Structure 1
Amino acid sequence: MTDSKNLEVCGSVMDGVAEKGGVLDSPTKKTTVEYNVFPIRWLVLFIFVLYSATNSMQWLQYSIIQDAVVKYYGVTSITVYWTSMVYMITYIPLIFPASYLLDKTGLRITTIIGSFGTCAGAWLKVFSVPQDLFWLGFTGQTVVAISQVFILNVPPRLAAVWFGADQVSSACSIGVFGNQLGVALGFLLPPMIVRAQGTVEEIGADLQFMFYLVAGITSVLFVFILLFFKAAPPSPPSAAADFGSSLDSNFLKSIQKLLTNRNYILLLISYGLNVGVFYAISTLLNELVLTYYPGANEDAGRIGLVIVVAGMIGSVVCGLILDKTHRFKETTLVVYAASVVGMIIFTFTLDCGYIAVVYFSSIILGFFMAGYLPVGFEFASEVTYPEPEGTTSGILNACVQIFGIVLTLLFEWMLGAAGDRWANLALCALLALGTAVTAAIRPDLRRQAAQNKA
C-alpha cells in the first residue's frame, strides 16, 4: 500500500535531493505525475529515532554523574567533562568524510557503520568498570562519539528521501527528536542507576549494570537496522525528490558553494551560538545545580530531562508550524529571541532556593533552545537548496561542535573565576548576539521557489 501525492505539492522542499539510484527519472514540468509515499517510511524513521537516541544518551553518561565518577575512578572533574567534549572534538574533522560517504553510498551503509560503532563503544565500557580502567571507558566513549558523525546529519536527508513535501519538516523534526530523546535519557538514567552517595563497591556495581544495559540495547538495535533499515523507497515521494535524483552532486563544489553563501554563513554563526550554549549548560548542569542544592544529584538529572523533553515538544511543534506556514525566517527569529528570554529567567531563578522554580524555568529554556534544533536545519536547507542536505547539516553541526567546545570551556572557567551568575549572563549575551545575527539573514527560500516552479 502507498499514499498517492500529485505533482501539485506546496510544502517545504526539504526533499530536494533524493537518495541516488533509488528513484525514477525526473518528470517534465507540464506532465502531471503521481508520487507515492510508502507506509514503511514510518518504520525507517522510528528505527532511526531509537538508534540516534542510543548514541546521544551516552553523551552525558559520565558528566551528569561527575561527582560519582571522580570518587570511583579518582580522576579530575575536567577529565570527566572531556568525556562529553570528545563528542564535539571528534565530529569536527570526521564530518567531511562522513558527509561524503552519506552522499555517495546512501542512508543504509552509513547507518550500519554508525550503529556498529555505537554498539562496539558501549561494549568497551562494559569492560572498563575496574577502577584502573577509566582509560578503556574513555576509549569506548570516543568510539561512540566517532559514530555520532553518521547520525547528526541524517534527519534532513532521511526526510528528503522518504517523505512527501507536506510532511518533510515534521519528519525532520521527529528525526532530531531521536537525538533529544537520547539526551533526555542520558540526564535521567545515570543519576537514577548510579548511587553517588554509595560506597565505592556500590558505585562499581551500579556502573556495571548501567553499561550492560546500554550495550544490550545498542546490540538489539544493530540487529534491527541490519534487518529492516532500507536505503530508499521504490519510487520518489515528490517532484523535487524526483528532480534531485538527476543531479550529479560534486562534494567539493557543494562545500565551496556553501561557504560562499552569505545567508548560510550567518546561520552557521547563529546556530553555533545557540546550540553551543545548550551544550555548555548540559555538560555543567550537575555542577550548577549542586552549587545551590547540595545532594540533589537526581534533581540535576531530572532538570536536564525537563530541559530536553520540553525541547522535544518544541521541536515537534516547530516542525508542524513550518509545514503549515513555511515562514522559516520568522519562526527561526521568534524561537531564537525566546531562547534569550528563557536563559535570562533560568539565570535569575537558579539561586532562588526553591528547586521547583528551577524546574519551571528549565521548561521555558528547553522548549525554545532545544526546540530550535530542527528549525535551524530546515532554514539551512531552504537557503542552500539544491545542495545535499547531508553536507549542509554536516557543516552546520561541525560549526556547532566548535562553538560547543569553546563555550563549554569558557563556561567552566567562568564558573570558577566569576561565579554562576556572571557565567550565565555571559551566555545570555551570546544568545542575544545570535538573535541579531539571525535577524540579518535574508529569507532567500530557494526550496520554496523550486517547489513553486514545479
Structure 2
Amino acid sequence: MGEPKNMEVCGSVMDGVAEKGGVLESPSKKAPVEYKVFPYRWAVLFIFVLYSASNAMQWVQYSIIQDAVAKYYSVSSITVYWTSMIFMVTYIPLIFPASWLLEKMGLRVTTIIGSLGTCLGAWLKVFSVPQDMFWLGFMGQTVVAMSQVFILNVPPRLAAVWFGADQVSSACSIGVFGNQLGVALGFVLPPMIVRATGTIEQIGADFQVMFYLVAGVTSVLFVLILLFFKAAPSTPPSAAADMGSSLDSNFLQSIKKLMTNRNYVLLLISYGLNVGVFYAISTLLNQLVLMYYPGANEDAGRIGLVMVVAGMIGSVMCGLILDKTHRFKETTLAVYAASAVGMVVFTFTLNCGVIGVVYLSSILLGFFMNGYLPVGFEFASEVTYPEPEGTTSGILNAVVQIFGILLTLLYEWMLSAVHDRWANLTLCALLVLGTAITAAIRPDLRRQAAEAKA
C-alpha cells in the first residue's frame, strides 16, 4: 500500500462524463495516460481523520454528562441537549456556501477554515468554567458546530481526489471513521473526567481539565494541517477523478441535477432516516440508560463508545466490501435492513436489568447503523457522478441534520410522554420504512460505468 500504484488507460480516458439528454458525452478526447497514486495520500487521510475526530468529539461533550452540566450550570436538560442539536441546526444553512467553497477553493482551504473554527470554539469553552458562563460555552459549541460543515462532506471528495478506483470506497470509509472516532471519544472521555456525583467545586475543576485537554489537541492539529495538509496530488489517481476535475461545474446547476435525480432523492430520505435515528439515540443516551440503571453515568458513556467502535469496524468492513464487489445497491440494502433488526434488539433488551446485555445489543446496533454511513456516501457518489462529491455529500448531510433535529425532539418528547418502549418502537418503524425506500433505489452506478469505459 505504500508504493505508488500505476494504472494504464488505453484509448480515450472516458467516453462520457457530462449528462446531456441522458447520454454521457465526452467533453474532450485524451491520449493514453498513466495514473498514479502517491504514498502521501495516507498522510493526508490520517491528518483528516484526527481533525474530524477533534470536532466530532465535542458533539456529545455536554449531553453525555447532561446531569452534571445541568447541576453545575443550573440549566434545564433540554438546554443541555441543544448543545448537541446546535450541530444539526447550524449545518443546514451553512452547508451550501461550504460546499461551494470546497468545490471552488479545494480541500486545503476548507480544511484550514474548519480546523481554525474547531480550535477557536474549544478555547472559548476554556473560559466558560465559571457557573454563570454557560452562555460562553454554548457560543464555543456553536463555533465548533459551524466548523463541522467543513468536515462531514469531505470524505468522499478526499477519497476521489487522492485515491485510485480500487481504494476510493475504503478511503471514504476511513475518512468517515474519523468522525466516528471523535464521537466515541466524546461518549467515553467526559464521563471519565467529570464526576457527576462530586461537589460543585470538583465538577468545575473537572470541566477545566476537560476543556483544556480538547483545546490543546485542536491547537496541535491546526498546526499540523497548516504544515502538512495538501489540496491534491500532482497527477489524478484515476480516470473518474481526472475527468471529474476537468469539468467546469456550475454549483446551482449541480444542485438542480441532484434534486431531479430520482435515485438520489430516495437516498436522501432513507439516509436521513437512518442517521437521524442514530443522532436521536446518541443525544439522549445518558437519559435512556439512567432510566433503567440509576447511577450508571460512566456506563452510558461506555455504551455509546462500544456502539461507535463497533460502527468503525462496520464502516471499514463495508468499505472493503464495496471496493472488492462494487455491489453498492445490495450492500446498502443489507446494511440498512440489519440496522432495523439491531434497533429492534436494542429496544427489547434495554430494560432486561442486565447492563451487559445492553452493551451487546449496542454493539449490534452500532455495527450496522454506523457502518451504513460510508456506504450511503459512496452509493450517492455512484448514482450522481460526475456531480462534485462535496456537493452530493453536503446535501446528504444537510438532510440528515433536518431529520436529526426532528427525530431528537420527537424522541425526547416520547420518552417523557409515552415511555421508552413506544419511543424506540417508533424509531424501529422509521428504519423499516427506510429499508423499503432503499429497496426502491435503482443501481445506476455511473462512476463504475465511467471507469469501465476507460
For residues 265-414 of structure 1, the aligned pairs below 5 Å read: 265-414=265-414
Corresponding residue number in structure 1 for 2:6:
5
State the Cα distance separating 1:449 from its structure 2 match: 1.1
Shift of 1:32: 3.7
Local SS of the residue matching 1:152: coil
Q: Is the 8 A contact 1:27 1:242 kept in 2?
A: no
Query: What is the CA distance between 1:437 and its match in structure 2?
Result: 0.3
Q: How does 1:126-145 map to 2 (within 5 A)?
A: 126-145=126-145
Shift of 1:5: 1.8
TM-score normalized with structure 2 length: 0.95
Aligned residue for 2:286, secondary structure, equals helix
1:111 counterpart residue number = 111
Preserved CA contact (<8 Å) 1:2 1:36: no
Secondary structure in 2 matching 1:60: coil
What are the equivalent positions in structure 2 for 1:415-454 lying under 5 Å apart? Answer: 415-454=415-454
- CA deviation after TM superposition for structure 1 residue 4, in Å: 3.1
Give 1:7 shift: 3.2
Q: How does 1:185-200 map to 2 (within 5 A)?
A: 185-200=185-200
How big is the alpha-carbon RMSD for the aligned residues of Structure 1 and Structure 2?
Answer: 1.5
- What amino acid maps onto 1:110 in structure 2? T
Contact 2:194 2:203 in 1 (8 A): yes
Distance 1:97 1:7 in 2: 37
Provide the C-alpha distance between the structure 2 equivalents of 1:427 and 1:245, rounded to a whole number of angstroms: 40
Alpha-carbon deviation of 1:190? Answer: 0.1
Please give the per-residue CA displacement for 1:147-169, whole angstroms capped at 9, x wherever unaligned.
00000000000001100111100
Q: Does 1:69 align with 2:66?
A: no
SS for the counterpart of 1:5 is strand
Q: Separation in 2 of the partners of 1:314 and 1:187?
A: 18
| Corresponding residue SS for 2:109 | helix
Query: How many Å separate the matches in 2 of 1:139 and 1:27?
Result: 50
In 1, the alpha carbon distance for the partners of 2:32 and 2:64 equals 55
Q: TM-score, normalised by structure 1?
A: 0.95
AA matched with 1:146: M
Task: Indicate the SS of the match to 2:33.
Answer: coil
What are the within-5 Å matches in structure 2 for residues 102-251 of structure 1? Answer: 102-251=102-251
Return the alpha-carbon distance in structure 2 between the equivalents of residues 7 and 139 of structure 1: 52
1:2 CA drift (Å): 5.6
Q: Aligned equivalents of 2:266 and 2:9: distance in 1? A: 33
Matches within 5 A, 1:19-30: 28=29
Determine if the alignment matches structure 1 residue 264 to structure 2 residue 268.
Answer: no
Letter in 2 for 1:389: E
Give the share of equivalent positions with the same residue, in percent: 82
Q: Are the aligned partners of 1:7 and 1:239 in contact in 2 as well (CA < 8 Å)?
A: no
Name 2:60's counterpart in structure 1: 60
Question: CA separation in 2, counterparts of 1:246 and 1:69?
Answer: 51
Distance in 2, matches of 1:51 and 1:182, equals 9
Q: Which has the higher contact order (CA 8 A, sep 6+)?
A: 1
2: CA distance, partners of 1:446 / 1:241: 13
**Cα distance in 1 for residues equivalent to 2:285 and 2:241:** 42
- String of CA shifts for 1:304-345, please: whole Å, max 9, x gaps: 001000000000000000000000000000000000100000
In the TM superposition, what whole-angstrom CA distance separates every residue of 1:411-430 from its partner, at most 9, and x where no partner exists? 00000000000000000000
Mapped partners of 1:210, 1:138: distance in 2:
15
Distance in structure 2 (CA, Å) of the matches to 1:266 and 1:422: 27
Match of 2:22 in 1: none
Rounded Cα–Cα distance in structure 2 between residues aligned with 1:400 and 1:66: 23
Question: 1:347-389 deviations in whole A, cap 9, x for unaligned?
Answer: 0000000000000000000000011000000000010000000
Offset of residue 6 of structure 1? 1.7
The residue that corresponds to 1:23 in the other structure is none
Query: Is the 8 Å Cα contact of residues 244 and 388 (structure 2) preserved in structure 1?
Result: no
Q: Whole-Å Cα distance in 1 between the matches of residues 278 and 191 of structure 2?
A: 20
Contact 1:187 1:305 in 2 (8 A): yes
For 2:173, the aligned partner's letter is S
Q: How many residues align structurally? A: 440
* Unaligned residue ranges in structure 1 (runs of 5+): 18-25
Checking the alignment, whether the CA contact within 8 Å between 2:350 and 2:358 is kept in structure 1 is yes
Name the counterpart of 1:22. Answer: none
The answer as to whether partners of 1:5 and 1:238 remain within 8 angstroms in 2 is no
**d(CA) in 2 for partners of 1:92, 1:39:** 35
Could you tell me how far apart the structure 1 residues matched to 2:261 and 2:268 are?
A: 11
Distance 2:184 2:55 in 1: 12
Instruction: Compute the displacement of 1:8 (Å).
Output: 4.9
Q: Supply the distance in 2 between the matched residues of 1:103 and 1:144 (Cα, whole angstroms).
A: 22
Amino acid paired to 1:3: P
Contact kept in structure 1, 2:117 and 2:143, CA below 8 Å: yes
Q: Is the 8 Å Cα contact of residues 9 and 34 (structure 2) preserved in structure 1? A: no
Asked if the contact 1:7–1:238 (Cα under 8 Å) also holds between the matched residues in 2, the reply is no
Which amino acid in 2 is paired with 1:405?
I
Q: Distance in 1 between matches of 2:230 and 2:451?
A: 26
- Give the counterpart letter for 1:101 in structure 2: L
Distance in 1, Cα, partners of 2:344 & 2:312:
21
1:239 deviates by 1.4
Name segments (4+ residues, structure 1) moved above 3 Å. 26-29
Q: Measure, in 1, the Cα distance between the counterparts of 2:251 and 2:174.
A: 27
Corresponding residue number in structure 1 for 2:78: 78
Quick one: distance in 2 between partners of 1:27 and 1:442? Answer: 29
CA-to-partner distance for each residue in 1:123-156, whole Å, 9 max, x for gaps?
Answer: 0000000000000000000000000000000000
Per-residue deviation, 1:243? 1.4
